[in-house]
């Protein structure tokens, strides 16, 4: 049952990240959710490894959005080709 929660939170984080970082991204629901989940995993790993916050704190949600924004930026660079 927890996997449904992860998917829903990932989707919400992905939507917030796309709202904060507007642009012409042609991501569907699935990719938005995957970016949100990956951003949350990235932020969780970095934040807990650095000792900034623990499990279930509001800072984790904020960091998840920041992680998803970073992944969206990397996705844009990768799609553009990264070159001049």
Residue pLDDT, tens place only, 4-13: 877 788 888 8
State residue 72's pLDDT score: 87
Residue at 70 is within a domain: yes
User: How do residues 57-78 score in pLDDT, each as one tens digit?
Assistant: 667 778 888 888 888 888 888 8
E strand or H helix that includes residue 59: helix 58-80
Residue with tokens 């992944």: 71
Percentage of the chain with pLDDT > 70?
83
How many domains, in total, are found in the chain? 1
Task: Quote the domain boundaries for residue 70.
Answer: 2-19+27-78
Task: Quote the CA–CA distance of 17 and 61 in Å, as a whole number.
Answer: 12
Is residue 54 over pLDDT 60?
yes
pTM above 0.85, yes or no: no
Quote the pLDDT of residue 55: 65
Structural domain contains residue 84: no
Say if 52 falls within a structural domain.
yes
Cβ–Cβ under 8 Å, residues 55 and 31: no
Within a domain: 83: no
């Amino acid at each position: 049952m927890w996997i449904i929660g992860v998917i829903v939170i990932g989707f919400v984080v992905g939507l917030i990240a796309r709202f904060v970082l507007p642009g012409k991204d042609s991501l569907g629901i699935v990719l938005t959710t995957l970016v949100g989940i990956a951003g949350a995993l990235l932020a969780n790993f970095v934040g807990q490894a650095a000792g900034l916050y623990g499990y279930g704190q509001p800072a984790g949600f904020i960091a998840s959005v920041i992680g998803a924004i970073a992944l969206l930026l990397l996705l844009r660079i990768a799609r553009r080709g990264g070159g001049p």
